[in-house]
Amino acid sequence: MASGLQVSPIGLQLAANAQADALWLTNTGTNTIQAQVRVFRWTQVDGKDRLEPTRDLIVSPPMISVAPGDRQLIRVIRSVDAPVGTELAYRVLVDELPLDQEAKPGLRFVLRYSIPIFLVPSDGAKTATLRATWRDGPDGTALEVRNSGSGHAQIADLAIVGAQNNRTVLLPGLVGYALPGSTMSWRVPPQSNPRGGAVRARINGEVSESTLTVDADGR
């Protein structure tokens, strides 16, 4: 039994003067959906995402029931002032709750959505400043990316472009996020030659690619 839970939009940014924003949960299936909505502070420590409970943002309602073909508004309400200098990151988790298996027999897959939410600094300025380093380890080669800026970087479609403008895709689609002040790394396919050209990626959904500054190799 496939789930019909859909969540939109797939991310939110609250401006410094915005007190709330909204998510919509839509049921495109044929059964009523029950879901729980929670919010967490999102940081990155030692190259890993960390989620911690928070009251900086409040979601209302936290428990929902959506009939087939219907949708439910979830308000995301700020309870803290706008950050100063550097944006803050959060994630809203939307967990579909399983139906009573006795009432609805059969295998059922339940969904989890993890929606990124960013609080824009009070001055409205937020930029990602990225530097990259290739790292060799026992598990292969990884691209390490440090963000020393004041805003997040969503990294997608990581590729190498050689001297003859030949392009090799290393990691298609969404690669991951580098939050301000954080360092993340992603392994590339073992058969690739990542040091064979310029490192390019799409940052924060931009149509055009950006070239990442790569420091000397770390081995």
pLDDT value at residue 165? 85
Q: Hey, what domains does the chain have and what are their CATH numbers?
A: 5-119 (2.60.40.10), 130-211 (2.60.40)
Mean pLDDT of 19-33: 94
Residue type, 23: L
- Cα–Cα distance between 122 and 185 in angstroms, integer? 30
**What confidence tier does 48 reach under pLDDT thresholds 50, 70, 90?**
very high
**What confidence tier does 106 reach under pLDDT thresholds 50, 70, 90?**
low
Question: Cα–Cα distances in Å, from 170 out to 150, 155, 175, 184?
Answer: 27, 12, 10, 16
More confident residue, 92 or 105: 92
Global pTM reads 0.90
- Cα–Cα distance between 49 and 44 in angstroms, integer? 4
Mean pLDDT of 97-115: 71
Cis omega (within 30 of 0) for bond into 121: no
Mean pLDDT of 178-196: 90
Mean pLDDT of 195-200: 88
Mean model confidence pLDDT for the chain: 91
Mean pLDDT of 203-218: 88
- Cα–Cα distance between 191 and 218 in angstroms, integer? 19
Placement of tokens 């944006």 in the chain: 87
pLDDT value at residue 105? 56
Q: Is residue 36 pLDDT above 70, yes or no?
A: yes
- Indicate the SS3 state at residue 47: coil
**What confidence tier does 152 reach under pLDDT thresholds 50, 70, 90?**
very high
